[in-house]
Amino acid sequence: MDKAGGQRGKGAISALAVAMVLMMAACAGPPGGSAAPQSGLVGMVERLAGSLRLPPGHNFHGWEMAFTKNMISEHGSVTRDQVLGAMRFVQLCQWDQYWLEGFAGQDGASMKSALRMMKILTQATPPKAGRGYLERLNRQAQGGGPALVRRFVAINCSNSGY
């Protein structure tokens, strides 16, 4: 059994595969772009955060620390596109988590708001980066089923700040 209470198997591997492709796409970014050293990351995240809608009470602060520790220590610097791609993945994780919070609290308004954003973010996901899986997750969530959302969050969004 996995942390989400489901059987670990083909579905869990699919969720992990989607996450890996999304993160590789997010972190790859187009060639070029200006690189930001660690000292410039905080300002870059603050500027980019203003353009990314998050659920009420959510932010990028915990993620920023984890990202700085992992990416910057490995690569020394990152481009704006890499940071933005990673922030979009965090955004998806936070909206999925918000849907689960609404589900647990039987808060239909929160679930509806989260699902609307989950669909928008899914449409912005390239087809080869797992859009089909996210569409299936959204259909299940729209029907009130939490299994795929729980699995996705448990596998992909458990790190600090997600």
pLDDT by residue (tens digit) across 84-111? 888 998 999 999 999 999 999 999 999 9
Residue 161 is given by DSSP the state: T
pLDDT of residue 6: 41
Residue 153 is given by DSSP the state: H
- Residue 117's H or E segment, with its range, is helix 108-123
Token digits of residue 41:
């990351």
What average pLDDT does the chain have?
77
Helix axes 147-156, 10-28, angle to 10 degrees: 50
d(CA 42, CA 148) in angstroms, rounded, equals 33
- Of 19, 28, 154, 129, the C-alpha closest to 85 is 28
Residue carrying structure tokens 């996210």: 134
Dump pLDDT digits (tens) for 104-143: 999 999 999 999 999 999 998 888 888 999 999 999 999 9
Token digits of residue 51:
């353009």
Distance of alpha carbon 34 from the chain centroid? 24
Token digits of residue 78:
């990152």
